[in-house]
Amino acid sequence: MTRRFLFVLGSARPDGNSELLARRAAEQLPPDVEQRWIDLTARPLPEFEDLRHDGDHVRPTEGDTALLLDATLAATDLVIVSPLYWYTVSAQTKRYLDHWSGWLRTPGLDFKATMKGRTLWGVTALAHEEPEVADPLVGTLNNSAAYLGMRFGGVLLGNGSKPGDVLRDTQALARAKTFFAQDAPLARFPYEAG
């Protein structure tokens, strides 16, 4: 099956470090792999409303929510491109993930069954030198993938504060070259590992 990568950009500024790093990694994808890039700041999702137990979720048919939903359902590989904000994903990214909870309950979507076996990846820029401070973000993505029965390819981390800084992180650029070629095992919750 031809792979279709969806890059979901979660920075609060354009052309930031996370996107630059993701574009470096994406350059390595074979030409027959489809790439779609959606910027959550340019396409803002509405505030998530929790209707899970009211049974009122209907499939969005227009606007940015429908665009994001359709693009998500069509992707074999979903790449969360989020800067590290307060040690986790950005608010834009978190809102996108919150909408998954609505999509999981939307009749006729089969969101969980559709996402099962697909691959979640992360690309993140952070200002902190020590990458382990991004563990909460990595855990969020890993556990979300595990919840949906997805594969998880890990998170490509790069260092930088102002836009362009990440292009000086030679180790991150080297990791970007092979990032999407890595094996992406089925995601497991930490208590299942071992």
- Which positions touch ligand FMN (CB under 6 A)? 11, 13, 16-19, 83-87, 125-128, 133, 160-161, 163
Residue count of the chain, please give it: 194
Nearer to ligand FMN, 13 or 52 (CB): 13
Distance between the two ends of the chain, CA-based, in angstroms?
Answer: 31
Instruction: Name the minimum Å distance from CB 2 to ligand FMN.
Output: 29
Nearer to ligand FMN, 52 or 128 (CB): 128
Position with the least CB separation from ligand FMN: 16
Measured over the CA atoms of residue 162, residue 21, residue 130 and residue 169, the dihedral's sign is negative
Nearer to ligand FMN, 8 or 84 (CB): 84
DSSP string, 73-108: HH-SEEEEE---BTTB--HHHHHHHHHHHHHHTSTT
CA-wise closest residue to 141 among 77, 68, 80? 80
Contacts of 14 (CB under 8 A, 6+ apart): 39, 41
Instruction: Name the minimum Å distance from CB 44 to ligand FMN.
Output: 16
Nearer to ligand FMN, 83 or 102 (CB): 83
Instruction: Name the minimum Å distance from CB 111 to ligand FMN.
Output: 28
The single residue listed with the structure tokens 């890059």 is 7
Nearer to ligand FMN, 18 or 72 (CB): 18
Instruction: Name the minimum Å distance from CB 45 to ligand FMN.
Output: 18
| Alpha-carbon span 23 to 79, nearest angstrom | 11
Instruction: Name the minimum Å distance from CB 127 to ligand FMN.
Output: 4
Instruction: Name the minimum Å distance from CB 86 to ligand FMN.
Output: 5
Nearer to ligand FMN, 58 or 127 (CB): 127
CA-wise closest residue to 69 among 79, 59, 82, 55? 59
